[in-house]
């Protein structure tokens, strides 16, 4: 597993590198956003540890650019942030971060989080041969593609989803009509590998709605069930 560390504090970056390399991970280090972005395109890592506060391009902008043009890999992005910052900012609302880790953190916590991401990645890459169809969507688990065709579209449109967004949509579509609580979605998508606040689910739901809803402010597919959670509706 290749890991890119984008952290401007060189002592912290070196500590992270040494910790992870002792666990047999391959690490690359960049100390600013521009170099980190260039190194991402060169190395195509599986995981990025990305500090929010970077000189030049900050972590949120780096995350946004990677999600807009992921290259051959769509990496997991773990934000590194100072204690006390808002959850939505930590996750990088609408930028595509998958999770966050609050500094200071222990080497043991860091390794545990990285190994959790690796296990999650292996589970999500397990081959499947299923296809879920609704009136407007086709979710192909084998090809890992999602397409949508609205009434005003001549041809189906392939949706540009991150790995987590695809798995979230596939979960909702495959059990359409079922109401999922945040805890249930976390258990299904992350399992015991989850670290953090349950509100992370709300962030990913908002990101997904921006990509699949005609009007994200008034969703017709991914519905909120007040006080309970979320469900998917789309008549066959």
The pLDDT value given to residue 89: 56
Residues of the chain with CATH 3.40.50.2300: 2-124
* Whether the predicted pLDDT of 90 surpasses 80: no
The pLDDT value given to residue 12: 93
**Dihedrals phi, psi of 69, to nearest 5 degrees:** -145, 75
Question: What's the longest Cα–Cα distance across the chain?
Answer: 56
Contact 150, 137 (CB under 8 A): no
The pLDDT value given to residue 76: 85
Residues of the chain with CATH 1.10.10.10: 131-232
User: Considering only CA atoms, which of 9, 32, 29 is closest in space to residue 21?
Assistant: 29
* Whether the predicted pLDDT of 233 surpasses 70: yes
CATH number of the domain located at residue range(s) 131-232 in this protein? 1.10.10.10
* The model's pTM: 0.59
Q: What is the pLDDT of residues 112-164, one digit of tens each?
A: 888 877 666 544 544 444 788 899 999 998 788 999 998 888 899 999 988 88
Tell me the pLDDT of the chain averaged across its residues: 84
* Whether the predicted pLDDT of 94 surpasses 60: no
CATH class of residue range 2-124: alpha beta
**DSSP assignment, residue 53?**
S
Residue predicted with more confidence, 4 or 72: 4
Q: In Å, how far from its chain's centre is CA 161?
A: 9
Residues in a beta bridge with 225: 229
* Whether the predicted pLDDT of 82 surpasses 70: yes
3-state SS of the chain: helix, strand, coil percent to 5? Answer: 40, 20, 40
Residue 27: band (very low, low, confident or very high) from pLDDT cuts 50, 70, 90:
very high
* Least confident among 48-52, 80-84, 135-139: 80-84
Residue predicted with more confidence, 84 or 168: 168
User: Considering only CA atoms, which of 109, 101, 61 is closest in space to residue 85?
Assistant: 101
3-state SS assignment for residue 103: strand
* Whether the predicted pLDDT of 33 surpasses 90: yes
The pLDDT value given to residue 189: 80
CA atoms within 13 A on the CB side of 145: 7
- The whole-angstrom separation of Cα 183 and Cα 157 is 31
Q: In Å, how far from its chain's centre is CA 166?
A: 10
């Amino acid at each position: 597993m290749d890991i890119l560390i984008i952290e401007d504090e060189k002592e912290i970056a070196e500590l992270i590198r040494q910790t992870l390399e002792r666990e047999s991970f391959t690490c690359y280090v960049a100390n600013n956003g521009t170099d980190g972005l260039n190194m991402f395109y060169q190395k195509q890592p599986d995981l990025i540890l990305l500090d929010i506060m970077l000189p030049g391009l900050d972590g949120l902008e780096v995350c946004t650019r990677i999600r807009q043009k992921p290259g051959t890999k769509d990496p997991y992005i773990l934000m590194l942030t100072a204690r006390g910052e808002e959850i939505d900012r930590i996750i990088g609302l609408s930028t595509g971060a998958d999770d966050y880790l609050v500094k200071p953190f222990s080497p043991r916590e860091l390794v545990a989080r990285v190994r959790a991401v690796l296990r999650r990645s292996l589970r999500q890459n397990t081959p499947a041969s299923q296809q879920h169809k609704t009136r407007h969507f086709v979710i192909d688990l084998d090809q890992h593609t999602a397409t949508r065709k609205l009434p005003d579209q001549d041809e189906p449109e392939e949706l540009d989803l991150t790995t987590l967004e695809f798995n979230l949509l596939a979960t909702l579509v495959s059990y359409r009509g079922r109401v999922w609580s945040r805890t249930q979605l976390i258990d299904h998508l992350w399992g015991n590998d989850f670290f953090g606040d349950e509100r992370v689910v709300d962030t990913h739901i908002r990101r997904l709605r921006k990509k699949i809803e005609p009007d994200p402010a008034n969703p017709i597919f991914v519905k909120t069930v007040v006080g309970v959670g979320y469900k998917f509706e789309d008549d066959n």
